[in-house]
Structure 1
Amino acid sequence: MSRVLALKSSILGEYSQSSKLLGEYIAKFDQDQLTLRDLAANPVPVLDGSVIGAFGAAATGELTADQQAVVDLSNTLIEELKAADTIVIAAPMYNFTIPTQLKNWFDLICRAGITFKYTESGVQGLIEGKKAVVITTRGGIHKDAPQDIVSSYLKTILGFIGVTDVEFAYAEALNMGDEYKEKGLDSAKQQLSSITL
């Protein structure tokens, strides 16, 4: 049975097209095998000095209560990632990049020696044998254009931790009028239906 980790990151709540597309897509999976994280409704900490300090202290085992809480959350997120066969990410484009909420998740799961390691030949991702499906929504049309930082960033960061099988479904032109919006959403649904897991 395929285990799925699904990540929502839109700040738009019930108005979010990426969340709606994600919901429709993951409905076909066994819900007992699904872990859903809404990173906007339940945000994880921003990577700052205290979070980095907690990760450093974890190596020595000398943590404050606050540091232990950060490390415990990071470990939980990583265990959810490791347990999944497929990661489904809803990633709307905000100001040409991913939402802060999704970036924060990556910052908490990218940990040297745990999800990646440095070797003499470069970085080696330690989260292998998984597939990622990215559902990305945009107000305009950006696919394959230089400003499509969302796609390049997600391919890079997922590959960094070892997830190299990544497929995208694009819903574009959502703010360019009803006709474009309908076509954009239909296109994304067709793309999703053709992705094999």
Structure 2
Amino acid sequence: MTILKIDSSITGENSVSRQLTARIVDQLRGAGSDVIERDLVEQPLDHLTLDAFADSSILDEFLAADTIVIGAPMYNFTLPSQLKAWLDRILVAGKTFRYTEAGPEGLAGNKRVIVALSRGGFYAAGSPASALEHLETYLTGVFGFIGIVPEFVHADGIAVGPEAREAGIANGLQEIERLAA
């Protein structure tokens, strides 16, 4: 099995999403597993241009992976621009989706995608800030467009205070345990 690990947090060692992606990969890693790590902060991708779009190396890496583990911290109610630049390279007509008379059809449905979300506040349905949640909803839509139903691990309340941070991390780690079961 090939696991592609994508990290996009700018906070380095203090990153909750990086802590969660490391744990997910540890849970998934088996004998004979290959893990490819892509740090979008250490090795950022340029914003999409026609020249950049012509380079298929990021797409090829995605297509070769069986499981993709993504660290997605919420910045200003959505995803980091580093992660958006990566997504721009894997959403390719004729490769990961195609247009048909019946509408778009995803072509990448044979992959497992696990997203480790970390959010400073609380954005679940029914919460006061739920209308500002554009991270999980965006990623659900984007991956659904290419035929993948992503699985999410949530660490919320990271910026509320030390107790809420610890509770958010603990929740994320518990969700990882359930994924591995």
Based on CA coordinates, which of the two structures has the bigger radius of gyration? 1
Match of 1:152 in 2: 137
Residue aligned with 2:104, SS: strand
2-structure distance, mates of 1:116, 1:171: 30
Residue aligned with 2:131, SS: coil
Return the letter of the residue paired with 2:23.
Answer: E
List gaps (5 residues or longer) in structure 2: none
Match of 1:169 in 2: 153
Match of 2:78 in 1: 97
Identical columns (%): 38
Alpha-carbon offset, residue 146 of structure 1: 2.3
2-structure distance, mates of 1:35, 1:162: 22
Alpha-carbon offset, residue 131 of structure 1: 1.3
Deviations 1:62-98 (A, max 9, x none): xxxxx3x6522xx111111111111111000000000
Return the letter of the residue paired with 1:153.
Answer: Y
Q: Matched residue pairs, number? A: 175
Question: TM-score, normalising length from structure 2?
Answer: 0.90
Structural mapping, 1:47-196, within 5 Å? 47=48, 51=49, 54=50, 67=51, 71-72=54-55, 75-144=56-125, 145-164=130-149, 166-196=150-180
Return the letter of the residue paired with 2:136.
Answer: S
Alpha-carbon offset, residue 196 of structure 1: 4.1
Match of 2:47 in 1: 46
2-structure distance, mates of 1:160, 1:45: 23
Contact kept, 8 Å, 1:143 with 1:170, in 2: the verdict is no
Root mean square deviation, CA, Å:
1.7
